[in-house]
């Protein structure tokens, strides 16, 4: 059956991808999330078009089951987060930054934003060195199902005058000759106030190659102004 709209839809999808790709050349920060806003309506139209090829009572039951699972997942997530009364995992620094009008307690604004502030904390007022101040007290790893890699680490902020967020860690996997076979990096999306110590469980994906040993190190972090302790 001929579908005259197919050509238009195909050009629309291709043009949208090209538009988003071209826009990446005009920003200074990773804009992946912004692409969702542009492509979501088009993705819905595209999915609806292709659904017409597989639509059947059985397909509808499968789709209904998948949607029900998603609803259950988000309901469970909402239930688990309800006691926190906030979408933020650590709300105190955000509230303090807003209340005291000190954005550097939470993050640094982009330099090209309206009234954009400094991109990093001033070292002259608060000397810091993330590599020295952030200590990995303990780290251990274990292999899970399907060669998955699970780390348990204890991290401490040794600084007394600077908080840190978005700790960049590198995991290095070596063979029996101490040759690197794989290396990965990710960030700990949390804020460590001065003196704070925290034990964290990490999922480092799957082992693509066999290895004999592994190590984890913190190599960078964003320095922040410490937030005052919340009143009790």
Q: Are 124 and 201 in contact (CB under 8 A)?
A: no
- Which tokens in the block code for residue 107? 């993050």
Residues of the chain with pLDDT under 50: 1
Q: Give the distance from CA 171 to its chain's centroid.
A: 17
The conformational region for residue 52 under phi > 0 = left, psi -120 to 50 = alpha, else beta, is: alpha
Question: Which pLDDT score is estimated for 87?
Answer: 63
Helix H or strand E segment including 151: strand 148-157
Q: What is the pLDDT of residue 78?
A: 85
Closest to 110 (Cα-Cα) out of 100, 95, 120 = 120
For residue 163, give every residue at least 6 positions away whose Cβ sits within 8 Å of its Cβ, in sequence order, or none: 93, 105, 157, 191, 192, 193, 194, 196, 223, 224, 225, 226, 227
- Domain ranges for the chain, please list them: 5-84, 123-224
**Predicted structure pTM score:** 0.71
Do residues 205 and 184 lie in contact, with contact meaning Cβ atoms separated by under 8 Å? Answer: yes
pLDDT of residue 202: 94
Q: Phi/psi of residue 57, each to 5°?
A: -55, -40
DSSP letter for 90, please.
S
- Torsions phi, psi for 51 (to 5 deg): -60, -30
The pLDDT value given to residue 1: 45
Q: Which residues contact 153 (CB under 8 A, 6 or more apart)?
A: 136, 138, 139, 140, 169, 199, 200, 202, 216
CATH superfamily of 123-224: Lipoprotein YajI-like (2.60.40.1620)
Determine the Cα–Cα distance for residues 40 and 99; give it in Å rounded to an integer: 35
Q: What is the pLDDT of residue 115?
A: 66
């Amino acid at each position: 059956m001929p579908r005259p709209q197919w050509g238009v839809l195909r050009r629309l999808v291709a043009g949208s991808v090209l538009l988003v790709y071209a826009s990446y050349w005009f920003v200074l920060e990773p804009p992946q999330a912004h692409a969702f806003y542009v492509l979501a309506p088009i993705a819905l139209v595209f999915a609806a078009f292709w659904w017409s090829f597989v639509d059947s009572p059985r397909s509808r039951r499968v789709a209904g089951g998948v949607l029900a699972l998603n609803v259950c997942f988000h309901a469970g997530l909402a239930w688990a987060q309800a006691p926190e009364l906030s979408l933020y995992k650590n709300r105190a620094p955000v509230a303090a930054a807003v209340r005291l009008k000190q954005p550097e307690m939470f993050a640094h604004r982009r330099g090209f934003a309206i009234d954009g502030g400094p991109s990093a904390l001033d070292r002259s007022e608060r000397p810091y060195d993330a590599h020295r101040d952030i200590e990995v007290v303990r780290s251990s790893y274990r292999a899970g199902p399907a060669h998955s890699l699970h780390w348990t680490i204890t991290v401490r902020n040794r600084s007394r005058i600077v908080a840190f967020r978005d700790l960049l860690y590198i995991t290095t996997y070596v063979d029996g000759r101490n040759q690197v076979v794989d290396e990965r990096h990710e960030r700990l999306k949390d804020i460590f106030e001065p003196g704070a110590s925290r034990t964290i469980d990490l999922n480092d994906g799957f082992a693509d190659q066999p290895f004999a040993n592994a190590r984890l190190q913190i190599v960078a972090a964003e320095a922040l102004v410490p937030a005052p302790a919340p009143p009790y």
